[in-house]
Structure 1
Amino acid sequence: MRKSELAKIFTAFLLTGTVLAGCSSASEEPKEEKSAEESQEKSKDDKKDDAKLTSEAQVKAYSDMKAELEKMKEDQEVDWNKVNDIYTSELQAHVNEVNGEFSQAVEAAISGGESGDLDKDVARQLIDKVTQSYFYQVQKGFQGQAAEDLKAGKADDASKKMEEVKYLAENVFIPTAEKRDSYYELSGESSMVENINNGLSLQEEAIANSNAEDFSVYKQVTDKAIYQSYYMASNSYGEKISKAVEEGNKEELSIMQAEGYGFLQAIKGSLSGGDEAAATELNEIFSLENDPATIDAEKVNSLYTKAITGKVKGYHEKVTESLEKGEVASAREQAMEGNMFSKMLEVNIKNKLGEEKSKELFDHSKKWFEAVSSEKADEAKQHSEAILDILNQL
């Protein structure tokens, strides 16, 4: 079946009422990073009780689906009914609650893979990567709940939520981050895996000390390191596709496109907050409606850089406003977010501006955070301007 026909079929699944009745369909992701719990505002304690701590069960369901789907790698028959049964009984309701579009994409991929209307490997990657995008939002929900628990003096409850985050990190996020660390040859302070683990350790320390402010700062280290792994995963498929086209190898372009698309779904709402047009274009580029042979790695990288730089600028503005209001705790958290978004561009900075400029940026970032924490607004402004000047050179 031609690629254009596959795209039309998949798009039709997403645009027509083929999903189960009663599904909650989100027409648009929030531009700011909001968890399901934050965006849907469950009513206090009763609703918190409803949010079962089911990471282990859900990851098992995901792993079982993945194991069945990966039979195709050995030219074995895939039991699509089994995949569908696992999804509908174990995951569908949870995914719908977080983002109806995620569930529609998974359902469409299962249906298309089963009928043969969608290439089976494309279907497999969509199911895998979109589900991983769902898990990213789940951890944000647990992070938000843990922060609220700690503010309310419920350290034990916060610890339970963090156990869920740690489980997801170990079984979903770190394996993805390891692949990107390897691909981009990142180690030490540049390693996404090390930053995820470092953030988790700092968060646990904050819980042990009942320090809600530090917890909110350090959760940004964990969250944005995971975010970076999704961004760099998607970006890497732009690079792999361009290389494959250049070498005349077009057999797996649609598969890689589906992987890039799936990882992007986790963060596209947030990216829109940095540059909506860039985020929209990235989604169009990786959409199955687009011919993957036309994907240009430099264009993909440029769009990601534009959106992430926009995120950094946004947090620098927020920090200034927070300091003016005397809201130091908020300013510290926003500064850490800004710094973590800057760090996402480290590879680009080194490649385009050089190692020294990269060191200069992160020296200013450290000093900016320290000045913000010490309420030295004038000093913070100087470092902020230096940071943004370097990023503007990209």
Structure 2
Amino acid sequence: MRKRELKKIFAGFLVASTVLAGCGAGGENAEKPEEKKQEQPAQKEQKEVKVEDTDSAKQTAAFEEMKAELEKAEENNKVDWNLVQKKYQDGLQKDVAEISADFDQAIQASIEAGKSGEMDAVVAGELINKTTQSYFYQSQKTLQKAASEALGSGKKKDAEMAFAQVKHLAEKVFIPTAEKRDNYYELTGENSVAENINSGLSAQEEALKADKAEDFSVYMQVTDKSIYRTFYLATKSYGEKIEAAVKEGKDKAELSIMQAEGWGFLQAIKESLGGGDEAAAAELNKLFTLNETDPSAIKGDNVNKLFNKAIIGKINGYYTQAPEALKAGEQAMAKVEAMEGNMFLKALQMQMNEKLGEDKSEETLNEAEKFYTAVSDNKQDEAKAHAKTVMGNISELAK
């Protein structure tokens, strides 16, 4: 990935040359003629990866069949709940349960409630759909970790297989969802969530082909946190849609469908948000839980404030950990944590523009770039100073 391309993605920050592949003739990652020759066998191995034979491909195929059947309810047609149940049990349940017993219970309960008529078929379908997408996000994280560890251990073919599944999940699940968020919030260019996901994947693939395990781990955060941003924006959007629908006088059934969709998307990131602010994450989950909160009580501004608190907590954690990792002599880990912090900051860009103004928002992003550069250059004190400025600016978002 070229420096100008990464600059475009992040609108001017996260451009430290120490982690960019092919940044220039003299850089440590500059591509040499002999490196091109070494890459050719790896490219051949990549072609041998048969994604259609992987667990991820089989799971997404089962999901698409379930979704096609569930969508019948939206046209007031009868859903074959036995078919949905069989597709889930045969194609997904074992793997979903291994990653999250809560996800499995939610999906099973929704199928049973839809089958019995206890729950509206559309509501049940949305809970199943969005909770399964949340499972795929956690599966993606597991695959990313496996790919990173395999590449670092010299097991390139294993890394390629795991990463091929990540790309498959992105194509089938995450990017279509990200494109809906882009359309809703009118996000284009470097602000587009779908473009950020694709750019992260491209950077990872380049690092994988070049056997650059450290770069792969750093760019993994671009992909992962862009997908994370998709789930955040999806949940956030339903908070806004529900409040607008209440004002328009929409009926309870329609509000419940949107509440169920918001809840399902939130499940992907709920646990992570709790690491930033446990109380805020718990309140968000309560707001979108059908049997705990009447949808008429959901307000967009409150949802935004709770998300801001939780995500600011995440940023603060990574901004604290990165300099500490430098102090411990773990520069590679420090760069990963700095990138994670800055990707969470990227998620709040719309909120910064709205609440801080575009000038202060740009200043904050520039400080984030300087923070990342300082971490990459192993300058602990400088990194801490830039982190302090960023945290001081974004603290306003939680008020």
TM value normalised by structure 2: 0.85
Q: Which of 312, 315, 335 matches 2:315?
A: 312
**Whole-angstrom distance in 1 between the partners of 2:239 and 2:128:** 19
**Whole-angstrom distance in 1 between the partners of 2:290 and 2:77:** 25
Specify the alignment match of 1:254 in structure 2.
256
Specify the alignment match of 2:184 in structure 1.
183
Shift of 1:185: 1.2
1:377 maps to 2:380: yes
**Whole-angstrom distance in 2 between the partners of 1:89 and 1:60:** 12
Aligned runs of 1:276-355 on 2, under 5 Å? 276-289=278-291, 290-355=293-358
1:362 maps to 2:365: yes
Specify the alignment match of 1:206 in structure 2.
207
Judge conservation of contact 1:276–1:307 (CA < 8 Å) in 2: yes
Judge conservation of contact 1:250–1:293 (CA < 8 Å) in 2: no
SS of equivalent residue, structure 2 residue 275: helix
Specify the alignment match of 2:393 in structure 1.
390
Shift of 1:188: 1.3
**Whole-angstrom distance in 2 between the partners of 1:281 and 1:72:** 30
Residue 141 of structure 1 aligns with an amino acid whose one-letter code is: T
**Whole-angstrom distance in 1 between the partners of 2:76 and 2:321:** 53
Q: Which 4+ stretches in 1 moved above 6 angstroms?
A: none
Residue 336 of structure 2 aligns with an amino acid whose one-letter code is: E
1:60 maps to 2:68: no
**Whole-angstrom distance in 1 between the partners of 2:234 and 2:312:** 18
Specify the alignment match of 2:174 in structure 1.
173
**Whole-angstrom distance in 1 between the partners of 2:331 and 2:300:** 40
Specify the alignment match of 1:244 in structure 2.
245
SS of equivalent residue, structure 1 residue 274: coil
1:271 maps to 2:273: yes
**Whole-angstrom distance in 2 between the partners of 1:84 and 1:64:** 11
**Whole-angstrom distance in 2 between the partners of 1:100 and 1:230:** 20
Aligned runs of 1:39-118 on 2, under 5 Å? 53-118=54-119
SS of equivalent residue, structure 1 residue 77: coil
SS of equivalent residue, structure 2 residue 329: coil
**Whole-angstrom distance in 2 between the partners of 1:382 and 1:90:** 50
Identity score, percent: 55
**Whole-angstrom distance in 2 between the partners of 1:220 and 1:262:** 23
Aligned runs of 1:210-225 on 2, under 5 Å? 210-225=211-226
Residue 289 of structure 2 aligns with an amino acid whose one-letter code is: S
Deviations along 1:121-158, one digit per CA (max 9) or x if unpaired, are 11010000000000000100100000110110112221
Shift of 1:160: 1.2
Judge conservation of contact 1:241–1:256 (CA < 8 Å) in 2: yes
Deviations along 1:189-238, one digit per CA (max 9) or x if unpaired, are 11111110111011111111111111111000000000000011001000
Residue 274 of structure 1 aligns with an amino acid whose one-letter code is: G
Residue 275 of structure 2 aligns with an amino acid whose one-letter code is: G
Deviations along 1:82-107, one digit per CA (max 9) or x if unpaired, are 11111111111110011010000000
**Whole-angstrom distance in 1 between the partners of 2:170 and 2:132:** 14
Shift of 1:263: 0.3
Judge conservation of contact 1:206–1:212 (CA < 8 Å) in 2: yes
Specify the alignment match of 2:141 in structure 1.
140
Judge conservation of contact 1:150–1:158 (CA < 8 Å) in 2: yes
For structure 2, list consecutive stretches of 5 or more residues without a partner in the other structure: 1-52
**Whole-angstrom distance in 2 between the partners of 1:384 and 1:334:** 12
Shift of 1:250: 2.7
SS of equivalent residue, structure 1 residue 103: helix
SS of equivalent residue, structure 2 residue 290: coil
**Whole-angstrom distance in 2 between the partners of 1:267 and 1:203:** 22
**Whole-angstrom distance in 2 between the partners of 1:386 and 1:192:** 26
Shift of 1:74: 2.2
Shift of 1:386: 1.3
Residue 235 of structure 1 aligns with an amino acid whose one-letter code is: K
Aligned runs of 1:157-172 on 2, under 5 Å? 157-172=158-173
Deviations along 1:43-86, one digit per CA (max 9) or x if unpaired, are xxxxxxxxx93111100100000000111222221111111111
**Whole-angstrom distance in 2 between the partners of 1:342 and 1:250:** 37
**Whole-angstrom distance in 2 between the partners of 1:73 and 1:376:** 56
Aligned-pair RMSD on alpha carbons? 1.0
Residue 344 of structure 1 aligns with an amino acid whose one-letter code is: A
TM value normalised by structure 1: 0.86
**Whole-angstrom distance in 2 between the partners of 1:186 and 1:250:** 30
Residue 361 of structure 1 aligns with an amino acid whose one-letter code is: T
Judge conservation of contact 1:136–1:266 (CA < 8 Å) in 2: yes
**Whole-angstrom distance in 2 between the partners of 1:383 and 1:250:** 49
Specify the alignment match of 1:195 in structure 2.
196
For structure 1, list consecutive stretches of 5 or more residues without a partner in the other structure: 1-51
Judge conservation of contact 1:364–1:384 (CA < 8 Å) in 2: yes
Residue 239 of structure 1 aligns with an amino acid whose one-letter code is: E
